[in-house]
Structure formats: structure tokens, C-alpha cells
Amino acid sequence: MMRRFLNKLRFKMLELRGLTDLPVIPSSATSSRQSLDERELYPHLFPNYKPEPIPEITVGSIITWFLIKLGLLILILWFLFERFRLQEYWLVGLGVIWLIVVYPAFMQYQRFKVQTRILQANTLCAKCRHFDETGHFCKLLDEHVSLTYTPCGGESWEANQRFNQDDDDGETFS
């Protein structure tokens, strides 16, 4: 646990210095002695780390846990406020909801957006019209996409309309 905290602290220091947007290093150049925590903290340096195509975070999982935690916390706060007659301290309840429910969901969404940017920069699937960025999956085959796994192998790839358009709004001159 302490190692994970130190790795997160080290990553924050790298982020402050602007060193987190480094180019992807090929998998042959990485050593196998790297710890699991470093591979989690620097996914752009270890593109082959997750062989399984199922993402950790999706928009659906963020919303589901947001609603579960919010429902349980409202019930607990309602019980505590009624039991101890704390109706005039409603602002404390809002603060607790912010700290336990809203802020962690916001941070998870920020992490999800980073994962989406990494996928868009490093995979062919992200430029396909069948790619759904809210769940990182292929709508055609209903399978999750990762940095190391393309569901169709590139055979069913169709360009996204945003990917095809140039800056001149599709005008052609003959």
C-alpha cells in the first residue's frame, strides 16, 4: 500500500513537470522487472500491460457506483439526522455527499477520459465508426477494445465520419 502511494506521488511529480505525455515505448524496449504499480501508473509507457480487453472503468460503472453510494449515504444521513435531531446541520450532509460520492466519481471520470485519449492515440479501433467511447467497445461485435486487442482484427474497420473529413468541410475541387 505504501509502495502504491509513493508511485502515485512520483507520478504526480512527473505530471507537474509535464513528463506524462511521453511517446509510447515499444514493448521490446521495456524490461520485465517493472513492478505492477508502475505499469498501472504509466499506461502510455506499457501499452501491452493489459492483455484482457475488459476495461476497469466505463461510464456505466461510474454511474452505477455513484447511484449506489448516493442511495446508501442518503439513507444513513437521513437516519442520523432524524435520530440525533441534526436538521440545522444539513450543510455537513452535503459536504459528506460531496466527499464520499461526487468527488470520487468525478476523479474516476477524469481517469476514464485519460484512458479514452490513450486508446484514441494508439489504436485503429478508436477511428472506426463502430467504436463506442463510453464503454471502450466495438458496437459491431459487442466486445471491448484494448491497446493489445482489436475485436475484428481490422477486417471490419470502417472509417469514422469525423476521421474522414478534412478541415475544408468536405469540399472537393476538380
DSSP string, 95-152: HHHIIIIIHHHHHHHHHHHHHHHHHHHH-SGGGBTTEETTTTEETTTTEE--SS--TT
The domain in which residue 130 lies consists of 125-161
**Percentage of residues in the chain with pLDDT exceeding 90?**
28
Give phi and psi for 118, each to the nearest 5: -65, -45
Residues 112 and 85 both lie in one domain: yes
Asked if the structure places residue 166 within a domain, the reply is no
Q: Which residue, 33, 34, 47, is CA-closest to 148? A: 47
pLDDT exceeds 60 at position 138: yes
Asked if the structure places residue 46 within a domain, the reply is no
Dist CA 142 CA 137 (whole Å): 6
Which of 54-58, 113-117, 146-150, 170-174 shows the lowest per-residue confidence on average (mean pLDDT)? Answer: 170-174
Asked if the structure places residue 139 within a domain, the reply is yes
Q: What is the pLDDT of residue 28?
A: 47
Q: Count the domains in the chain.
A: 2
> Which pTM value belongs to this model?
0.61
Classify 89 as helix, strand or coil.
helix
Q: Residue 75: pLDDT band by 50, 70, 90 thresholds?
A: very high
